[in-house]
Structure formats: structure tokens, C-alpha cells
Amino acid sequence: MSGVLNLSIAKDVDVVRARQQGRELAAKAGFSSGDQTVIAAAISEIARNILTYAGYGEMSLDVQTNGDREGFMVVARDQGPGIPDVGRAMEDGYSTSGGLGLGLPGAKRLMDEFEIVSVAGQGTTVTMTKWRRLTS
């Protein structure tokens, strides 16, 4: 199962579209409806972060098989100002935008793997994966 979906995130409708397409792709790949919801919620948080902090960015959604498991991978990239203190940004309730401060730590809890790389003045990349076991 392949076919990377590349989405640009520039407006609030793009956030809705990203999570809908994420859900669809996850459904097609055989993820449970619970996992589809979890993936869609994580996509929503990360896509909104792009809008709030960078204004524009790109998100790619992909499904890859690795041995006996299948991974739904989300890569979100922006060329925004970057996160000065990634450690703090990963804490629950910490926000510099007046939000709830649950976007990044929440998305991390929702997904199985989560990595964030941010360079001041260059941007932020979030890579996250949700796994499911393939049954033969």
C-alpha cells in the first residue's frame, strides 16, 4: 500500500481537509475506526500548529509496511520561526499562542512514535507514526 499524499496547510479549511484525508487513508489501509480517529486528531493538532506558528507548511501522509506491521506516517514541515524551547513546548499546558498547550504533547500521546526537530529561524518538522499489526 503506497501513494504519498502531499497536502499544503495554509488556511483553516486545510486543517479539516488534512484530517479527513488522513482518516480516509487510514481506513483504506485497514486501521480500526478508533485508530482513524486518533490519527485524525493528531493530524488536526499538528496542522493547526503550522497555521498558528508558521502560517504555511506542508504535510505528507503515507502508509508503509514494515515486516508484520503497517505504519501510518505523518510528516509535517514548515519554514516558520521554529520553536525556541522544544522541551517546554512538549509540556502539557504550555502555549505561547493562548491555546490549551496540548497540541504537541497530545499528538505525541496519540501516536506510537513522535519526533520533532526545530531550528530557530528555519522551521519545524514533526514526524509521527501510528502502527498496526498485520494479521495474515
- Write out the residues near another protein by the rule CB under 8 A: 12-13, 15-16, 19-20, 23, 33-34, 36-38, 40-41, 44-45, 48, 92, 99-100, 102-103, 105-107, 109-110
Q: Which is nearer to another protein, 71 or 99 (CB)?
A: 99
Tell me which residue has cell 490519527.
39
Closest separation in Å from C-beta 36 to another protein: 8
For 1-136, strand residue ranges (E) read: 5-9, 57-66, 69-78, 113-119, 123-133
Half-sphere exposure of residue 134: CA atoms within 13 angstroms, side-chain side: 13
Please give the C-alpha separations between residue 87 and each of 91, 92, 104, 117, in angstroms, as whole numbers: 7, 11, 11, 11
Q: Which is nearer to another protein, 95 or 125 (CB)?
A: 95
Q: Which is nearer to another protein, 2 or 13 (CB)?
A: 13
Closest separation in Å from C-beta 126 to another protein: 15
